[in-house]
Structure 1
Amino acid sequence: MLTHPMPDPVALSLGPLAVRWYGLMYLLAFAQFLLLGRQRIQQPHIAAIGWKKEDLDDMLFYGVLGVIIGGRLGEVLFYRPAFFLEHPLEIVQVWHGGMSFHGGFLGVLIAMAWWARKIDRNLLDVLDFIAPLVPLGYAAGRIGNFINAELPGRLADPSLPWAMIWPNVDNLPRHPSPIYQALVDGVLLFVVLWLFSRKPRPRMAVSGLFALGYGCARFFTEYFRMPDYEVSFAGITISAGQMLSLPMIALGLVMLGLAYRKTGSRPA
Structure 2
Amino acid sequence: MPFFAIAFPVFDPVAVAVGPFEIRWYALAYIAGILLGWLYARMLLQRERLWGGPAPITPVQFDDFILWVTIGIILGGRTGYVLFYNLDFFIANPSEIFVLWKGGMSFHGGFMGCVVAVFLFGWKRNISVASLGDITCAVGPIGLFLGRIANFINGELWGRPADSTVPWAMVFPNAGPLPRHPSQLYEAGLEGLALFLILALMIRAGALKRPGLIIGAFLTFYGLGRITGEFFREPDPQLGFRWGGMTMGMLLSVPMVIAGIVVMLAARRRASTPPQPAGAKPGEAVK
TM-score when scaled to structure 1? 0.93
Which residue does 1:64 correspond to in 2?
70
Identity of aligned residues (%): 39
SS at match of 1:152: coil
Residues of 2 paired with 1:123 and 1:41: CA distance?
15
1:1-268 superposed matches below 5 A: 1-44=5-48, 45-46=50-51, 48-201=54-207, 202-228=210-236, 229=239, 230-232=241-243, 236-261=244-269, 264-266=271-273
SS at match of 2:269: coil
Show structure 2 runs of 5+ residues with no match. 276-287
Of 196-205 and 249-258, more deviation after overlay is shown by 196-205
Q: 1:5 to 1:89 in 2, by over 3 A?
A: farther
Which structure ranks higher in relative contact order (CA pairs < 8 Å, sequence separation ≥ 6)? 2
In structure 2, give the amino acid aligned to 1:2. Answer: I
Residues of 1 paired with 2:165 and 2:272: CA distance?
52
1:136 to partner: Cα distance:
1.2
TM-score when scaled to structure 2? 0.87
Residues of 2 paired with 1:13 and 1:249: CA distance?
41
The question of whether the paired residues in 1 share the 8 Å contact of 2:46 and 2:55 is answered with: no
Residues of 2 paired with 1:84 and 1:213: CA distance?
32
Q: Structure 1 stretches (4+) deviating beyond 4 angstroms?
A: none
The question of whether the paired residues in 2 share the 8 Å contact of 1:97 and 1:148 is answered with: no
In structure 2, give the amino acid aligned to 1:266. Answer: T
Show structure 1 runs of 5+ residues with no match. none
Which residue does 2:285 correspond to in 1?
none
Q: What root-mean-square deviation, in Å, do the aligned CA atoms of Structure 1 and Structure 2 show?
A: 1.6
1:89 to partner: Cα distance:
2.5
1:96 to partner: Cα distance:
2.1
